[in-house]
Amino acid sequence: MNINNKRKILVIYTGGTIGMMLDKATGTLRPLEFGQMSKLIPELLDSDYVPDYISFDPTVDSSNMDPASWIRLAEIIGEHYEAYDGFVILHGSDTMAYSASALSFLLENLNKPVIFTGSQLPLGVNRTDGKENFITSLEIAAHYADDTPLVPEVCIYFENQLYRGNRTFKYNAENFDAFRSVNYPVLADVGVYIKFNNNAIQKPNFKKLKVYRKLDTSVAILKLFPGIQDHVVSELLGIEGLKAVVLETYGTGNSHTAQSFVDILARAIDNGLFILNITQCKGGAVEHGKYQASVPLAGAGVVSGGDMTLEAAVTKLMFLLGAGLSGAELKKAMQRSLRGEISE
């Protein structure tokens, strides 16, 4: 294929395991030289795409990823959006689901593939899962039909499956299949062939990309457990400057029903705090009123987060608070699907 006819893919390396290789002289891991990638993965020379590379400098371990890094990623994509057919982001797996969720909100009217991938073993060592993850992510990002991208959304690709980024969570620290999307079907299964689940993939709207550059981190997470003390709840909800709390409850959104606990929530909400209820379960959704144990929460003004993941709930709140939403407007937006992150 003539190089001029090949799809152009921008690879953005943020940091993480996949971008490391073993220095045999010292026995330590060091960052890859991406200019030498074709020597490490010669298959790239005989492909239908041409990858270019940008690397964070310095690179960022995924444990240190933050909203500023998410905005930086969005800006890089916005700056290079017209020049490339798709984007692959190499990222550490630990916070990948947060980054993918955040980026989905920061990129409105996205009509090109943005694929996050990484690995459990470095690209430059034996038995690495990074090589297959990287090559397949590039192929998916370059996959077009009739000049239309097949996956025009922010995704995570890991170990033979493509997921919607804001529906995904990391569930395993040791196995190669590190991610799951329980409440939403996979977007593609990869074996001998890449089998796209077209009914689950968002359709392009062909509108102009809009890049947002503001996130408000005045958010906290409160995970309930049997025996949690009222003063712990009260102290957290009373943090100065706090605007929103993600409340992780049991089952379909249930909590203990002690009046003192409910009163603490109600007072905080009356004072302007937004509280979103999501389930601690990895599958299923909050359904206020299904059981009596969730009725007091709804009565106090706690808002149902439906079937959103924790990662999507936190980053969506940051995004909407950054846009200046509050009160009823924030409640309505949190319960509406912006980028396919919640089932309405």
Q: CB atoms < 10 A from the CB of 16, how many?
A: 26
Q: In whole angstroms, what is the distance from residue 334 CA to residue 225 CA?
A: 25
- Tell whether 204 is covered by a domain: yes
Assess whether 142 and 245 both reside in one domain. Answer: no
Number of domains in the chain: 2
- Tell whether 32 is covered by a domain: yes
Q: CB atoms < 10 A from the CB of 333, how many?
A: 15
The two structure tokens encoding residue 53: 């590379």
- Tell whether 84 is covered by a domain: yes
- Tell whether 141 is covered by a domain: yes
**Integer angstrom CA distances of residue 170 from 7, 123, 167:** 30, 20, 11
Q: In whole angstroms, what is the distance from residue 317 CA to residue 274 CA?
A: 10
The confidence score (pLDDT) of residue 4 equals: 63
**252 is known as an active-site residue:** no
- Tell whether 134 is covered by a domain: yes
Q: CB atoms < 10 A from the CB of 207, how many?
A: 10
Q: In whole angstroms, what is the distance from residue 58 CA to residue 269 CA?
A: 41
Assess whether 159 and 37 both reside in one domain. Answer: yes
Is 300 strand, coil or helix?
helix
Say if residues 115 and 86 touch (Cβ distance below 8 Å): yes
Q: In whole angstroms, what is the distance from residue 121 CA to residue 228 CA?
A: 38
Please name the residues in contact with 145: beta carbons below 8 A apart, sequence gap of 6 or more: none
Q: In whole angstroms, what is the distance from residue 105 CA to residue 149 CA?
A: 19
Assess whether 188 and 94 both reside in one domain. Answer: yes
Q: In whole angstroms, what is the distance from residue 293 CA to residue 69 CA?
A: 39
Assess whether 204 and 223 both reside in one domain. Answer: no
CA 89 to chain centre: 12
Assess whether 184 and 291 both reside in one domain. Answer: no
Q: In whole angstroms, what is the distance from residue 88 CA to residue 102 CA?
A: 16
Assign residue 185 the CATH number of its domain.
3.40.50.1170
Residue 29's φ and ψ, nearest 5 degrees, are -90, 140
The confidence score (pLDDT) of residue 35 equals: 66
Residue 124: DSSP 8-state: B
Assess whether 89 and 231 both reside in one domain. Answer: no
Q: In what order do the strands lie in the sheet with 244-249?
A: 219-223, 244-249, 274-279, 303-304
Partners of 22 in beta bridges = 29
- Tell whether 342 is covered by a domain: no
CA 80 to chain centre: 21
Assign residue 265 the CATH number of its domain.
3.40.50.40
The confidence score (pLDDT) of residue 324 equals: 97
The two structure tokens encoding residue 47: 């492909």
> Which residue range(s) make up the domain with 330?
219-334
Surface-to-core class of residue 192, CB atoms within 10 Å of its CB (0-12 exposed, 13-18 middle, 19+ buried): exposed
The confidence score (pLDDT) of residue 3 equals: 58
Continuous H helices in the chain: 37-40, 67-80, 96-106, 130-141, 230-237, 259-270, 295-300, 310-322, 327-334
Q: In whole angstroms, what is the distance from residue 65 CA to residue 99 CA?
A: 8
The confidence score (pLDDT) of residue 36 equals: 65
Assess whether 185 and 223 both reside in one domain. Answer: no
The confidence score (pLDDT) of residue 2 equals: 44
Say if residues 116 and 141 touch (Cβ distance below 8 Å): no
The confidence score (pLDDT) of residue 177 equals: 83
Assess whether 59 and 80 both reside in one domain. Answer: yes
Assess whether 263 and 328 both reside in one domain. Answer: yes
Assess whether 127 and 27 both reside in one domain. Answer: yes
The mean pLDDT values, 10 residues at a time, for the chain of 344 residues are: 76 85 72 69 82 90 94 98 97 94 98 93 77 92 94 95 96 85 96 94 95 98 97 97 98 93 97 97 92 90 97 98 97 97 94
Q: In whole angstroms, what is the distance from residue 159 CA to residue 124 CA?
A: 17
Domain end, chosen from 193, 211, 229, is at: 211
Residue 330: DSSP 8-state: H
Domain end, chosen from 182, 211, 240, is at: 211
The confidence score (pLDDT) of residue 212 equals: 98
- Tell whether 226 is covered by a domain: yes
Q: Which of 14, 17, 117, 136 is catalytic?
A: 17
Domain end, chosen from 186, 211, 236, is at: 211
- Model-wide pTM > 0.85: yes
Assess whether 296 and 250 both reside in one domain. Answer: yes
- Tell whether 117 is covered by a domain: yes
Assess whether 233 and 106 both reside in one domain. Answer: no
Residue 291's φ and ψ, nearest 5 degrees, are -125, 155
